Every structure is written in C-alpha cells, then in structure tokens.
Amino acid sequence: MSDPWWRSAVVYQIYPRSFCDTTGNGIGDLEGIRRKLDHLVWLGVDALWLSPIFPSPMADHGYDVADYCDVEPLFGSLEDLDRLLDEAHARGLRLLLDWVPNHSSDRHPWFLESRASRDNPKRDWYVWVDGTPETPPTPWQAVFPAGPAWAWDERTRAWYLHRFTPEQPDLNWSNPDLRAAMLDTLRFWLDRGVDGFRMDVVHFIGIDPSRIAPGFDGPTDPARSHAHLREIRRVLDGYTGDRVGVGEVYILEPEELATYLGHDDELHLAFNFRPVWVPWDAKTYAREIDRAESAFAEPRWPTWVLSNHDRPRHRTRFGRDGAARAAAVWLLGVRGTPFLYAGEELGLQDAAVPPELVQDPMGSRDGCRAPLPWDATPGHGWASPEPWLPWPPEVDTRNVAALREDETSILHLYRRLLAARRASPALHAGRQRRLDGPDDVIVLERERDGDRRRVLVNFAPETRRCPADGDWIVEVASDGVGEGAAFDGRLAPDGAVVLRPER
Ligand code: NOJ
C-alpha cells in the first residue's frame, strides 16, 4: 500500500485576511488566493491550509464561526471556494479547511436559540450553569482575554462557558445532537471535495458535565476527547482520497500529544508546537528531534512547524537572516510533515503594530499576521493600499516579485529545498538517524529504499568543520554556495546543507 499523500506533503498555511486583497477593502480574499495558485505551484508546496473562511463576526478573526457551512462574504462566496478548490486540484494542490469544533460564535443561530430560553431544544448544545451574577460556577480563567471563562446571561439567569473570548461560547460535545450536527459540517465540506481539516483546539472538546464544579481544573475529560476523535475519524474514513485530520492539540509533551493519533483511529497528524517556543540552539533542537522521533516512531508520523498565526515569526524570534535560512533547511529536511506559514519563504519579520492599530483580542498576535507584500508598488499588489494591518519591515525589497527576481534570495532557497525534497524519497518519506556532529551542528541521515541524504545544520553564527564520511555532493546550501560540488566539510556561519551521495 502506498503512503497517504499527507505524509510526504508540505503544507502551506494561508491566513486569508493577510494573503491578497482583490476587492479593495484591505482584507485578503479567496479570489486573491486563487490568483496566486500558480505562484504556489512555482514555489513547490503540496497542500494549502486556509485559516477559517466561514461567516464570522470576526471577534477572533474567523475562529468565531457563525455558520460552519458557508463562506464569509468578506472573503467571497461558496462559489469562490468551489472554484478555488477546483483550480487548486487541477494544479495538484490539496486544500485543507480550518474546522473550529470547540466553540462557535455567540451569533451562531445555535447559540441564539440556546440562550433564548432554558427549555429551548438547543439549550444543552452549549455549557450552561444556573446561578447568580456575583459568582461564576468555577474559578476557571479564559485562555484570552484575561478574565473568567464564564459569562453571565441575564435573560435566562445563567452562566455560559467560553474558554476563549465571551463571543466564543464552548460547544457541548457531550450532547449527541450537537455531535451529530458538527459531524454533518465535516460532511458538508468533504462532499464538496476538500482534502481534510486542521482542527482547532480539538483536545478541548471532550466535555464531561460532572467536571463542571469547583475542584476540577477544567471541563475536559481526555477520554471523551479521544472518543469524539474516533467518531470524527470514522467520518473522514468514509470518504475516498485519504482525507486528513490535523489536530491543533496544544499539548507540549510529545509523548502525550502522540496519544491523540490513537491506534491510527483518531487524528492523522498533530502539531508539535515545541519548536515555536524553544530557542534556535543545536542542543535544544537535537533534544526535540529525539523526543519526537521516539513519541512518533513508525507507524506514527511527526509534524514540524516554526511559525504560524499565533506566535512571532521565527525570523523575528531568531533575529538573524542566516538562522532563518538554516531553519528552512532543517524544517524541510527533518522527518515529518512540515507546515510553512505564508511569508516565511520571504524571510518576513513581524510588523510593528502601534497600540492604536491593534486588532487581536489577545493583543499580541497582529505582528505575524501582517499582510503579504507581492511587489514594490505602493499597494504591494493589494487592491487597497491600506490593508487591515501595517506592512511588515523591508517591504520595498522583501516582497514576492523582488525575491523571485533574485536567485540568491530565501524564496529561491525554499524553492530549491522543496524541489529536492519532492524528488527524494529519503527526504519526504525516509527514516531518520541523528549522527554525532561537532558542537552547534545537527547531522541527520535520511534513507528510503536505497535513496540517501544527509542534512547538516550549523546553529552558530560562526564557521564549523563537519567532515562527512564518504563522498557527498552539496545538493542545496542555505547560502547557495557550492551547490553541485563536492562537500568540503566546512559549514558557513548559520550554514546548512542537504547532501546527496556522490553515486
Ligand atoms: C487556536 C487558533 O490558532 C487561534 O488563532 C485561536 O484564537 C484559538 N484557537 C481559538 O479558536
């Protein structure tokens, strides 16, 4: 049996608001994504994941869904989504949507019904506790903004649970009708042909009503989350085409994270977020690789991510261009499915967002959500010169058009890495061994069916010597130097290489 496509794929995350605006309202849209499909094929990614595109009052920029089965008018229409999907598929690109199962918007018709009266048939689709306005049922705090995870609703004199903003009431997955309705929302998109879903905070969904009491640290019973994930998996498995479920399971212990793959009957993939929190340092990364290799040993498969829409970009975190280039070699050379965040292939840094322009309900995530600059014109390829957030730094030179022109750019490095990875079974599907290297250097050996590669990453901003046994050719170098020539054992400052055996 051949490997499912998502094991060897590179997934490219698009934050639709920030990708490309074609209507002039300062907000990116589906048509903007469609127009850039050929560019993404040129770059060489395999799949796109769109952060939520559903109708939303945008209290959390789409992670507050008011209708799971339609498209937000700011982004376009259902027809636009169908067209995008068709045109992506015609180019061999898969498309993943971002399903938000833990909470809806407070404007979702389900919540409007639920809050209308205590005996409404949908009352129990959310988590309500009767009480008095002075004291929330438990001391639980929301993830953001700072404050209780409960909001008082005067009409029915009860509290509802919201582990994120008050505009994002938690859905009650212990109710079978809610579960059936949510599974139907998956079928709606699967029937239209989407290739799978990224699933928002999906480890939270196993609500156990008996835990909604002081003394518990939250309402989630992991055993229930696992059971719901098995139900979700059965829906995906009912379709042909290896539809994939990728879990945002925000658990930083890889061993526990891996349990959310079940016995190949829960999620297919789960994000390992450790690299977005740890420093760029060889010892640290060696440890992270070893931990993931053991927690996600075959038949499991790891994921890797350096940047996303919730954390400062890794170029900003690491502070050096060279380190961002070396990190690209690491991300596309390590065993697992990599997730790229749109803009990292440009080496983008976070925008500086002055307090009066802050949009994010958490307050800290706007910088990495800055709009993508397509060219050096005043509007940088956007229909409006005034996008919803300020442009990132160096926008006149660090934009898609300028970097496509410059073969030494980081954009071309990503393109060469993606091409090398696609062509090499060792890189996109092989097993991995970490070899000893000098201080500050990580050495990975990859192998599949006789195909071999070595990935060497120098984390130090100084030269390191790392002689390789045998004769190796530099296939890709993070600084572009020496590609196609024999490897001489020297790693440039912040230098990283992919090597192939001479024969
Ligand atoms: C995780 C998402 O990545 C984040 O952007 C969002 O704010 C929360 N989940 C709540 O949906």
Q: Give yes or no for residue 368 CB within 6 A of ligand 1.
A: no
Distance between CA atoms of residues 446 and 119, nearest Å: 60
CA 474 to centroid of ligand 1, rounded, Å: 40
Amino acid found at 66: A
Q: How many helices (H) and strands (E) does the chain have?
A: 14, 18
pLDDT at 76: 98
CA 55 to centroid of ligand 1, rounded, Å: 16
Examine residue 493 and say whether the peptide bond preceding it is cis (omega within 30 degrees of 0).
Answer: no
Q: Give yes or no for residue 164 CB within 6 A of ligand 1.
A: yes
| Long-range contacts of the stretch 139-143 (C-beta < 8 A, 24+) | 139/214, 140/217, 140/218, 142/166
Told to judge if 21 belongs to the known catalytic residues of this protein, a careful annotator would answer: no
Amino acid found at 200: D
* Nearest alpha-carbon partner for 122 in 134, 107, 112, 137: 112
Residues (pLDDT < 70) of the chain are: 1
Distance between CA atoms of residues 503 and 420, nearest Å: 16
Q: What is the pLDDT of residues 275-326, one digit of tens each?
A: 999 999 999 999 999 999 999 999 999 999 999 999 999 999 999 999 999 9
Which residue has the CA at smallest separation from atom 3 of ligand 1? 310
Q: Give yes or no for residue 98 CB within 6 A of ligand 1.
A: no
Cα 83 from chain centroid? Answer: 23
Give bridge partners of residue 153 from the DSSP assignment: 158
Work out the number of other CB atoms within 10 angstroms of the CB of residue 155: 9
CB burial string 477-490: b at 16+ within 10 A, e below: bbbeebeeeebeee
Q: What pTM, to 2 d.p., does this model score?
A: 0.98
Amino acid found at 216: F
Told to judge if 167 belongs to the known catalytic residues of this protein, a careful annotator would answer: no
CA 166 to centroid of ligand 1, rounded, Å: 14
* Residues 255, 260, 264: CA angle, nearest 5 degrees: 110
Which residue has the CA at smallest separation from atom 10 of ligand 1? 63
Contact predicate 161/115, CB 8 Å? no
The catalytic residue among 21, 72, 195, 248 is 248
Distance between CA atoms of residues 473 and 485, nearest Å: 6
CA 362 to centroid of ligand 1, rounded, Å: 10
CA 115 to centroid of ligand 1, rounded, Å: 24
Give bridge partners of residue 339 from the DSSP assignment: 11, 305
Which residue has the CA at smallest separation from atom 5 of ligand 1? 310
The catalytic residue among 200, 293, 344, 366 is 200
3-state secondary structure of 192: helix
Residue 194 region, left (φ>0) first, then alpha (ψ -120 to 50), else beta? beta
Which residue has the CA at smallest separation from atom 11 of ligand 1? 63
pLDDT at 1: 61
pLDDT at 95: 99
Please name the residue ranges forming H helices in 67-139: 78-90, 109-116
